[in-house]
Amino acid sequence: MRAEGCKLREIALRFDVSISTVHRWVVPGSWERARQYRRAHAEEHKAHNRRYAHEKRGICDGCGSQMGVGYSRDGLCLGCRRERRERKRGTIQHLWIAGATIRQISEAVDTTPGAIGVEMAHMRRDGWDLPFREGYPR
């Protein structure tokens, strides 16, 4: 097809592959040149990735450590988010056992009663001691 004057893009569309794949089919030795390039520049790429991670990823507001990819929600790293959730669950359990209503608990932890109901269901599933009460749905 290339000998007939087709462009790499046209060949790629016809075979439903990327243009770079077609380039590797058509140009002799391109696989080996790409492999050599990757090997020759591996340390440079690693250094770039480390610099990027240091400059672009956020710093956790809770512990000050560098955050991983995808965990910048609320400004906390995954570990700090987990700790915050455990503290919240501990508060919910303490208040529930002390006899507080779902509405009172929701006001204490600054969320909605519906969110507390869902969180309590998850806590029970995870093994937390939250006894059922009369008048509350099971």
Which residue type, as a one-letter code, is found at position 35?
Answer: R
Which pLDDT does position 62 carry in this prediction?
83
In this prediction, residues 8-25 reach a mean pLDDT of 89
Contact 117, 132 (CB under 8 A): no
In this prediction, residues 38-65 reach a mean pLDDT of 85
Nearest to 113 by CA among 133, 130, 96: 96
Which pLDDT does position 73 carry in this prediction?
65
**pTM of the full structure:** 0.56
pLDDT of residue 93 exceeding 70: yes
Strand partners, 59: 66
Strand partners, 66: 59
Q: State the chain's mean pLDDT as an integer.
A: 87
Structure tokens at 15: 């075979």
Q: Name the percent of the chain lying above pLDDT 70.
A: 93
Which pLDDT does position 48 carry in this prediction?
92
What torsion do the CA atoms of 26, 29, 30, 34 make, to the nearest 10 degrees?
160
